[in-house]
Structure 1
Amino acid sequence: MAKKTNYTKNGNEYYRVTVTIGRDSNGKLIRKEFYGKSKKEAEAKRDEYLNGIKSGLNIDFQNATLGPLMKTWLFEVVRVSNRIKPSTFERYEGIYRNYIENSQIYGLRLSAIKSIQLQRYYNELYESGKTSSQIKNLNKLLKKFFFYAVEEGYILKNPCSSKSLVIPGEVEQEETEIEIFKDDEIEAIKKALEGHRLKALILLALGTGLRQGELLGLKWDHVDLENKKIKVEQAIKTVTIIDANGNRKLETREQPLKTKNSARTVPIPSSLIPVLKKHESNQKEEKLKAGPLYNDNGYVFATATGNPIDARNLLRAYERLLKKAGVPYRKFHALRHTYATKLFQRGVPLKTVQMLLGHSDISVTANIYVHVMQEQKIDAAEEISDLFN
């Protein structure tokens, strides 16, 4: 029996059906064509498309592919959002460039993507030496993108939301003990700080628990020496800025705080007030010495010409300080952990510690300092030990 077709293209016979899907901005009818080896196949493709439209999909959903649309989303939506920090966009762009662009999933049609395709890609990445953490970060970004694709009507369901999709090699992370400085190490650091340009910064980190970026972004307008308190309102970070064309440059920028709870008021220990006053006096001398070369940005901690301190330079100076003090190296964040630990050891309630640290949720504080809190429980039990004597 002869095959019934009604259209010839590139020497091949097809059956073609058309459907009107609306009008364009000029009022002209928009027609879409569907081809098949038979009338039944062409009509099935047409019906599948129309059913998708009825379900709320974008009229162009069949043509959208993962890579190009994800790049559009990243550069034209995510990059310009006030809710996304430059450092976060830099991380997202790196994931896209390394794991989506030029990858096997780049050209996948969005409407046809299944979780199993992503699972296979994740498995291959893991087998090629990528870590579970790297794959997990990729999955998180894809999940955000697919939610956007659902909102825009390109797909009906987020394939990364499937409970059957797993991160290969992922194991439940064990609690890692936080790093803190011991009392004798603190004394050694204090001794090494005598006459040091960063004395006020290091001691303030130890006495307030401010994060590195929060300390570098601190301005004198935020410091009330008379009432012994600091308003934490911003942070500074050196980030790679990526423009709409993908051009990159390194900049030190003020940026929003880590979370909404990070904006907080923190008391200054009385013993640090003279240290800060001395630091302020020294800074005024630097300002006079630099003259018109001084860029007065109002930062509490700045270079000799008033510019923001580069985070990398701070860490180098911090490492040299520990070496001078004879103290084993610990991350700068250990100063913050030491502050919180000392608060717990002195009986400060968990909720108060959470507020002072600026954690988004009390469970975050509890999970980080679970070891310290366990010690508190033991000490609490000893408080009633005399009942059994």
Structure 2
Amino acid sequence: MRMLISDAANFFKQARYSSGTDQAYRKKFLHFAEFLAYKLALPKEKIDLERIYVLKDKNGEIVTYKPLDHRIIDEYFHTLSSTYSMLKQTRKFLSSFFRYLERNYHFKNPLLNMTFNLDDIKPTIRQSKALTRHEILKIHHVLVQQSENLVRDLLLFCLLFSTGCRRSEILSLQVWQIDYDNNSFKLVNTKNGRQRFVAMMENMGTLIKRYCILERINDKDYIFRQANEKPMTPYHLKKLLDSCCEKAGVGKFRIHGIRHSFATVLYESGVQLPLIQQLLGHQDMSITKQYIHPNYTRNYGIHIKENEELFSRIKRIYLEKN
């Protein structure tokens, strides 16, 4: 017997997910369990994955049972009205769960034969832009001019642009994670579920310490907070960045593009790929390579007055000679 609830409990017990991923996956499981319970007209606690289909003879006597298969999985995905990213996360969770059952109990993985294709609803991916050094300075210049909470916002932007950390990693930073003596901080909730230490710019730790003292931010408090002392959300960060980009004339820019900018500037400065990979927290080098943008792409459409004048003179000389 493969009781759904007990198998799921064992699965989560052995899994090594970050707290955020664990919470998200538990919600996915609960939703899937409720779907099965409704379809089978059974309490979740009585769902046996090896007895999903009941085969009876002409007299109505039970002959045998059949396990959960891809038809149920396909039906479940067709009932979901989520975004592509949420559907992808659901499939990722179910894949991990059924691989666990297959590996430990030889339960046939139903996702291997599913016909629902996520690629059919996959949106067009917008390529993240990598900013030039000049554009990064322009954004910070605008921030200094318009910010209503200058110290907080400067610390936030400096950490994002100088560490290459994900927005979730910076926005979730608490005071206790900062190592002032070594000018670094500890990440505990990374995308890969692994802890790592991140080095900061010189004196950044001292500045954060002073800021926390002035704002009376305690060890268990989030460093970057709103006026109501609640943690700053990705929405508020995006709104702030969009405003700065618009006034700096940079154009629309995704927050994730900060990581692309970080990797590109490092590479242009002569930093080797393995180190950039480590700083970004990537497991695969091929992903890191996608974060580095060539100059001819990043500087496309940029017009420099001095260059235009020089080109005009060269063009004039060439035409006179020919």
| Structure 1 residue 263 displacement after superposition | 0.5
Q: 1:344-383 residue pairs with structure 2 within 5 A?
A: 344-366=267-289, 368-369=290-291, 371-372=293-294
Q: 1:227-306 residue pairs with structure 2 within 5 A?
A: 229-234=183-188, 256-259=189-192, 263-268=196-201, 270=202, 273=203, 277-278=206-207, 280-287=209-216, 295-297=218-220, 300-302=223-225
**Following the alignment from structure 1 to structure 2, what is the Cα–Cα distance between the partners of residues 209 and 192?**
21
**Following the alignment from structure 1 to structure 2, what is the Cα–Cα distance between the partners of residues 362 and 96?**
32
Q: Say whether the 8 Å CA contact 1:179–1:337 is kept in structure 2.
A: yes
Q: Say whether the 8 Å CA contact 1:200–1:276 is kept in structure 2.
A: no
**Following the alignment from structure 1 to structure 2, what is the Cα–Cα distance between the partners of residues 173 and 106?**
31
Deviations 1:97-138 (A, max 9, x none): 55552359953863313645247536x818x97777665544
Higher helix proportion, which one?
A: 2
TM-score (norm 2): 0.63
**Paired position in structure 1 for 2:4:** 70
Seen in structure 2, the aligned counterparts of structure 1 residues 158 and 257 have a Cα distance that, compared at 3 Å, is same
Q: Is it true that 1:179 corresponds to 2:129 in the alignment?
A: yes
**Following the alignment from structure 1 to structure 2, what is the Cα–Cα distance between the partners of residues 134 and 176?**
18
**Paired position in structure 2 for 1:117:** 71
**Following the alignment from structure 1 to structure 2, what is the Cα–Cα distance between the partners of residues 159 and 209?**
39
Task: Name which of 90, 93, 107 aligns with 1:141.
Answer: 93
TM-score (norm 1): 0.54
| Structure 1 residue 202 displacement after superposition | 0.4
**Paired position in structure 2 for 1:250:** none
| Structure 1 residue 343 displacement after superposition | 0.9
- Amino acid corresponding to residue 141 of structure 1 in structure 2: F
Q: Say whether the 8 Å CA contact 1:319–1:329 is kept in structure 2.
A: yes
Q: Is it true that 1:215 corresponds to 2:170 in the alignment?
A: yes
SS in 2 for 1:110: coil
Task: Name which of 182, 193, 196 aligns with 2:143.
Answer: 193
- Amino acid corresponding to residue 186 of structure 2 in structure 1: V
Q: Say whether the 8 Å CA contact 1:301–1:309 is kept in structure 2.
A: yes
Seen in structure 2, the aligned counterparts of structure 1 residues 165 and 82 have a Cα distance that, compared at 3 Å, is closer
**Paired position in structure 2 for 1:49:** none
Seen in structure 2, the aligned counterparts of structure 1 residues 138 and 259 have a Cα distance that, compared at 3 Å, is closer
C-alpha RMSD of matched pairs (Å):
4.2
| Structure 1 residue 354 displacement after superposition | 0.6
Deviations 1:243-271 (A, max 9, x none): xxxxxxxxxxxxx3333665134352x5x
**Following the alignment from structure 2 to structure 1, what is the Cα–Cα distance between the partners of residues 226 and 100?**
43
Unpaired runs of 5+ residues, structure 2, are: 41-46, 51-65, 298-322
**Paired position in structure 2 for 1:328:** 251
- Amino acid corresponding to residue 110 of structure 2 in structure 1: P
| Structure 1 residue 207 displacement after superposition | 1.4
Task: Name which of 155, 170, 182 aligns with 2:119.
Answer: 170
| Structure 1 residue 79 displacement after superposition | 5.5
Q: Which has the higher contact order (CA 8 A, sep 6+)?
A: 2
Seen in structure 2, the aligned counterparts of structure 1 residues 97 and 346 have a Cα distance that, compared at 3 Å, is same
Unpaired runs of 5+ residues, structure 1, are: 1-60, 235-255, 288-293, 376-389
Seen in structure 2, the aligned counterparts of structure 1 residues 261 and 132 have a Cα distance that, compared at 3 Å, is closer
Deviations 1:33-63 (A, max 9, x none): xxxxxxxxxxxxxxxxxxxxxxxxxxxx2xx
| Structure 1 residue 302 displacement after superposition | 4.9
Seen in structure 2, the aligned counterparts of structure 1 residues 304 and 182 have a Cα distance that, compared at 3 Å, is same
**Following the alignment from structure 1 to structure 2, what is the Cα–Cα distance between the partners of residues 233 and 169?**
32
State how many pairs are aligned.
270
| Structure 1 residue 139 displacement after superposition | 3.8
Seen in structure 2, the aligned counterparts of structure 1 residues 302 and 157 have a Cα distance that, compared at 3 Å, is same
Seen in structure 2, the aligned counterparts of structure 1 residues 147 and 334 have a Cα distance that, compared at 3 Å, is closer
| Structure 1 residue 156 displacement after superposition | 4.0
**Following the alignment from structure 1 to structure 2, what is the Cα–Cα distance between the partners of residues 260 and 119?**
27
Higher strand proportion, which one?
A: 1
